[in-house]
Structures are given as structure tokens and as C-alpha cells.
Amino acid sequence: MTAEITVSKEDYLKAIIEAESEGHTVIPALLAQWLHVSAPAVTKAVKRLKEDGYVSHKDEGALKLTAKGREAAHRTALRHHLVERMLAEVFGMEWHQIHAEAERLEHVISPAFEAKLIEKLGKDGNCPHGNRVLPETPAQLKRRGFLPLSETKVGGDYVVSSLYERDARLLEYLHKLGIGPGAALRLLERNYDDTLRVRTPLGNTMLGLAAAGRVWVSSAGK
């Protein structure tokens, strides 16, 4: 399978599982937005993915991965995960810088190198953003005892467990505020304008609900 699938197909298939994890109905227009490509390009790509047996798509309905498509998406997600861990654990690259690098490198990992990375790092650890290999839904994260920072209680002490990693600008922004994996936070105040005042290792800061909803935490001491 690795030999027959192109970089473009891998990007589309991984985007589908990521969008599904966020609760989206995956339609071509959404993929165009996520992958920053034109609508005609998506139409052509979806047609080819359907012909090659990676997705099913009826008229204007949602795209669904076939067993073959889900396997390919999982393999790409695993390579992305392994590359992120390699960059952080072997080369010491900062957590807020590695997602974009891994997006590029995930496509050039050979099966032999992938096996070596698995041998060294294992398959089951979290990436430097605190995420598992496959994207998890909010419900799955809550079952593991995590909450988005936007839903925490004033006066509560928390530890950052995982971050939404698809948005490079968000990661850089959170890094500058001192909000990163393992950081200790306290929610100090909820404001009328839908902002939160949060104590971070770098001091007190203001954070909007949209950004706070991308930061998953657990109660300190758990």
C-alpha cells in the first residue's frame, strides 16, 4: 500500500479522520478549506480516491473511508506521530515547532525507517503535544478525565494534558503565553467578554474561549 499511494492521497485521507474526530460531516468543501486547495482540485481528488477504493461518496453526502482508506490514513497518522516524537525526543526540537515539520517528513518515511522508529520509540506514547497516534473526539478525551480549559472552574488548578496541533499559529501563541504540555495553570476569572484570566508559568494572561477550547487539561494532583 505504501508504494501505491501518493502524498496528495495521504493528505486527503488523514484530513478525513482528523475532521471526523472534530465531529465534522466531511464533505468536499470542508476538505478544500482544510487543505487550502480549490474546489475543482478536491472534486478530482475525491473521484480518484473513490475509484481507487479509499473512500465512498454518494452524491452530495459525506465522504466515508473504506477499510482500505482507513488503514492508509492510520499508517500516515502513525508516521506523523513517530516523526514528531523523533524530532522532540531525539533532536530536542521544541513542541510548538514540530507539527509542520512532521507534516512534510511523514510522506518520506520508508517502511524500514518506520520500523526502526517504532523499535526505538514504541507505538503507544503521546506526541509532544500530548496526543495519541489517532485523533480523539472530545467525548473520548473527556472519558480519559480531560476537560477543555474553556470548561474549567474558576479557582481550579490544572495541568495541560494535550493541545490541538493542526493550527501552527495557535501553538506559537500558546507557547508565548506559557501554555504548553505539562504546564500548571489556574483559572482566575471568567470575564463578560468571553475571555479567561489564567495564571501560567510565565504569569497571568488573558485567553479567549476559542483558544481555551483547544487546550485540554486535567485537575492538578490527578
Q: How far is it, in rounded angstroms, from Cα 4 to Cα 210?
A: 39
Q: What would the mean pLDDT of 127-153 be, rounded to a whole number?
A: 94
Question: What is the reported pLDDT for 123?
Answer: 83
pLDDT at 5: 55
Does the domain formed by 1-128 have CATH 1.20.120.420?
A: no
Residue 61 pLDDT: 77
| pLDDT at residue number 2 | 39
Note the pLDDT tens digit of each residue in 23-58: 899 999 999 999 988 989 998 999 999 999 999 987
For residues 4 and 165, the model is more confident at 165
d(CA 160, CA 173): 15
Domain ranges of the chain: 1-128, 138-219
Question: Which option is the CATH number for 138-219: 3.40.50.10860, 3.40.630.30, 3.90.1200.10, 2.30.30.90?
Answer: 2.30.30.90
Q: Where are the alpha helices (DSSP H) in the chain?
A: 7-21, 28-35, 39-51, 67-85, 98-105, 111-121, 138-143, 168-177, 209-212
Write down the pLDDT at residue 196.
97
Domains 1-128 and 138-219 equal at CATH topology level: no
Q: What is the pLDDT of residue 1?
A: 37
Answering whether pTM is above 0.85, one says yes
Confidence category of residue 60, pLDDT binned at 50, 70, 90: low
pLDDT tens for each residue of 178-218: 999 999 999 999 999 999 999 999 999 999 999 999 999 99
pLDDT tens-digit series, residues 164-173:
999 999 999 9
Instruction: Name the grid cell of 144.
Output: 480519559
